[in-house]
Structures are given as structure tokens and as C-alpha cells.
Amino acid sequence: MSRTRKNYNSSFKTKVVLEILKERETAAEIARKYRLHQNQISQWKKQFIENAGSVFETKGESGRVKEAKQKEERYLKTIGQLKMDVDFLKEALSR
């Protein structure tokens, strides 16, 4: 008999972690409530806490997203410049 792996979305994980952080119920109670293993909840809590600092980075954007946007802007600027060069050369050749 094979087991299937369950995938939980980020909003569900956040909901569970926030309940743990509120400390109104024990981890065992929350695990039982959502039919999860306590180790799974502990992993999610650890990930949540480790990545909490990125929430406040540059208007909510992580460093990687900001870096990717800057790269995209540079590429678009280069493409625009190259297009202008090609258009100029085409016009010069047609004279």
C-alpha cells in the first residue's frame, strides 16, 4: 500500500503557524485538530520565523524579486538602445 504525499498551500501553513505562535493551544492539540504531525508544524514554524524578516524588505519585496526587476529594467533598456541602433542603420543604408 503506497502513501500519497499531501501538499498544503501557504495560506493553510500560515494559519497553522499563527495558531502555534498565539499559544492558546498546545502544539499537540493543534496537530490533532488539523491532523498533522507535530514535527511538520515545527518545521513550518521554523521556516516562518526564519523568513519573517523578508516581509519588511523594500516595500514587502524580497531581495531576489527586487534584483530580478532591476535586471529586467537593464535588459529592456539595452533592447531599446539596440532597436534604435538598428533603425538608424537601416535608415542610413536606405539612403
What pLDDT, in 10s, does the model give residues 8-58? Answer: 999 999 999 999 999 999 999 999 999 999 999 999 999 999 988 877 765
pLDDT for the residue 81: 95
pLDDT for the residue 59: 59
Q: What cell numbers appear for 32 in the block?
A: 490533532
Check whether 95 has a pLDDT greater than 60: yes
Cα-Cα-Cα-Cα dihedral of 50, 52, 57, 62, to 10°? Answer: 60
Name the nearest CA neighbour of 65 among 53, 57, 77.
Answer: 57
